[in-house]
Homo-oligomer: A and B are copies of this chain.
Amino acid sequence: MVDGPTLALDAMGGDHAPGIVVRGADIALARMPDLKLILVGDEAQLRPLIENTKRLANSDFKLIHTDKAVGASEKPSVALRSGRNSSMRLAINQVADGEADGVVSAGNTGALMAMSKFVLRMCPGIERPAIASFFPTRRGETCMLDLGANVDCDSENLVQFALMGEIFSRMVLGLSRPKVGLLNVGSEEQKGSDAVRGAAAVLRETESENFEYVGFVEGDDITAGTVDVIVTDGFSGNIALKTAEGTSRMITQFLRDAFKSSWAARLGYLLCRGALEQMRKRLDPRRYNGAVFLGLNGISVKSHGGTDALGFANAVCVAADMCRYGFLEKVKEEIALYGDSSGANLTRQTSVAS
């Protein structure tokens, strides 16, 4: 049982930490008994919680004590300067020091990104990191990136996101040749910003056996499941993510109101409840928990701040899968093959290769 990946968990990050982190770690161990976990946080709080667990308490875990945590609304720059002994920072350090293969935190996203980038550095050849996550779609799941790491992206960034996204989706969805689309305001070639059109020009010319570039997609393609990977800048991606979440919440509230609006509806709801529960599961944000920071020279996974133990466990398992799959090595290989940090290189080298 020592072959599995070792993961450092920021036990103090997130709205319901450290409880959900400890219970989440326990759930993750039930699914992946070969995991080795390092919990970083306040020992006085963590010990009793761990004693209450079935598997974690009896596993070969490690506890690193600190009573410092990064605040949920702390500015990334402040966290970076003054959070050197925070649970988040010490957990990331474990990866940099070679003690862990990856880090998971439900804490402050901006701080986690800033610290991960500072401590782990960028993956050689990648210019900007991207936040990637999965969306439920009418056909299954779609990976989208960037969800907010970079407000401004140029065409080179978008091309690199496409490469990282297809590798990530091959890993998570088990697809052999995922379809990749660029998010735009129309499907015609002349539409969109310079960055989007520039990235399209490069991707159109790319012939890779690893992915298929299908062109521009629009906002409604995200949930339609038209493609497996949707590439966009962090501004639009973040707005699309939150718009989808908001719309989903609004419809859920409207549904709840409808089911309460009459006695017939209340009775009807009781009859539908099992079926609606299935639907709720299809949309369950915990299933899609774990926004992954791609492009760093190390595995860093962000769990949703408000998630529960199950959601946190899913984020832990995503990080474990990335380690097992050799995600970093695959990104380095493709970047070396298709061009280091230049879209022009990508075109040239794939043209020769194809």
Contacts and interface: CB of A to CB of B under 8 A. Distances in A.
Interface of A: 75, 136-138, 148, 151-152, 183, 185, 188, 190-193, 218-224, 232, 234-236, 238-251, 253-255, 257-259, 261-262, 264-265, 267-276, 278-279, 282-283
A151 B193 CA distance: 6
B275 A235 contact: no
A224 B250 contact: yes
Interface class of chain A by DSSP = helix
B275 A259 contact: yes
A279 B192 CA distance: 35
Nearest to A220: B246
A193 B246 CA distance: 22
A151 B220 contact: no
Contacts of A183: 239
A219 B239 contact: yes
B279 A271 contact: no
A251 B220 contact: no
Contact of A75 (B188, B234, B248): B188
25 contacts: A138-B249, A183-B239, A185-B234, A185-B239, A218-B239, A219-B239, A220-B246, A223-B246, A223-B250, A224-B249, A232-B239, A240-B243, A243-B243, A243-B244, A257-B279, A258-B275, A258-B276, A259-B275, A262-B275, A264-B274, A265-B272, A268-B271, A268-B273, A268-B275, A271-B271
A270 B272 contact: no
A338 to B, nearest CB: 27
A235 B191 CA distance: 10
Listed residue (A185, A261, A283) with the most chain B CB atoms within 10 angstroms of its CB = A185
A243 B268 contact: no
Contacts of A251: 247-248, 251, 283
Contact of A241 (B219, B250, B255): B219
A219 B248 contact: no
Listed residue (A137, A193, A258, A264) with the most chain B CB atoms within 10 angstroms of its CB = A258
Contact of A152 (B193, B218, B276): B193
Given A192-B151, A251-B248, A242 B220 contact: yes
